[in-house]
Amino acid sequence: MLYTDPTPQNVLDYHGNNTLFMVWNFKDDVDVKAAFQRICALVINLNHSADVRFQDDSESCVMGIGHEAWLRLQLPEPLPKELENFAPVAGGKHTAVATRGDLHFHLRSFNNRGICYDMAAAISDVLAPVAVCVEEVHGFRYWDGRSILGFVDGTENPHGEKERAYFGLVGDSDPAYKGGSYLFVQKYIHDLKAFKALSLPEQEAVFGRHKASDVEMPDDVKPKNSHSAVANVGDDFKVIRDNMPFGNMGSNEMGTYFIAYASTFSTLKKMLNKMFIGEPEGNYDRLLDFSTAKTGSLFFVPTLDMLDDFS
């Protein structure tokens, strides 16, 4: 079905101070369609309710659907052109692992952490009988938008509504899914002890940026394997990163939840290949020596119009 003026989910929003990420996998040998219909209606309801109740804030709930779940739920065919099971990207030293994910939820609020909790609770009430939550990460804004490693995250994001829509939403190349978005996530755990053992100039060389000012080093100065050099695949290939730091002092699990919305998954493939394999091969992202990807999953975020049909 073609939608004349599709309404995207809130993938273009700028991230808030509080986030909650959840990945759910359906149980085997259970009927999941009724619960999925309910969850589609719930996502719409949660967003409408937040718009009414918190007009001066920016709460939202975004749901993505994985490849295998799309097939199991018998959703429209042909599928979105680039929706697939993410395959690991293995370099000589580091690997972008692949992990199963049927449904992904991205819950956001600028100032009210409680609404994220309430949305997660409502989602869990619907899904718990038919699915298992395999990942739950509570993210928070760290100082002026920095990762736990101390460097500002997301400086190269597209800015402005028009640019963000161009890079974040599917366009006319796949008209049946126009307004949707590809969603890719990875949970990274950082070796803070090793990173903090580096001198400030050594840390800045890892990122290719100055730590305090967030100013990028000139191309003839920054190392070829620095994060800003390797993760940049050109001005014509951008994604909307909504990364958030998370941390648990008791378990010493500190990391970054990498989350990117894109009009094409091929853009993210280019980025991952450069980061993990390198161009030329072996010139991998130096940041990976201090950051280990523990998960990796691809989803498609349908428009609100499609969710309404699914419900």
77-47-136-158 Cα dihedral, nearest 10 degrees: 80
Longest dimension (CA), the chain: 58
Around Cβ 48, how many Cβ atoms within 10 Å?
A: 11
Closest CA to 291 of 148, 155, 101, 157: 148
**Counts for the chain of helices (H) and strands (E), in that order:** 9, 12
Tell me how far apart the alpha carbons of residues 14 and 257 are, in angstroms, rounded to a whole number: 15
- Residues taking part in catalysis: 153
Reading the chain (311 residues) residue by residue, the pLDDT tens digits are: 778 789 999 999 876 789 999 999 999 999 999 999 999 999 999 999 877 777 666 789 999 999 999 999 999 999 999 999 999 999 999 999 999 999 999 999 988 889 999 999 999 999 999 999 999 999 999 999 999 999 999 888 998 999 999 999 999 999 999 999 999 999 999 999 999 999 999 999 999 999 999 999 999 999 999 999 999 888 888 999 999 999 988 888 999 999 999 999 999 999 999 999 999 999 999 999 999 999 999 999 999 999 999 99
Check: CB of residue 260 under 8 Å from CB of residue 244: no
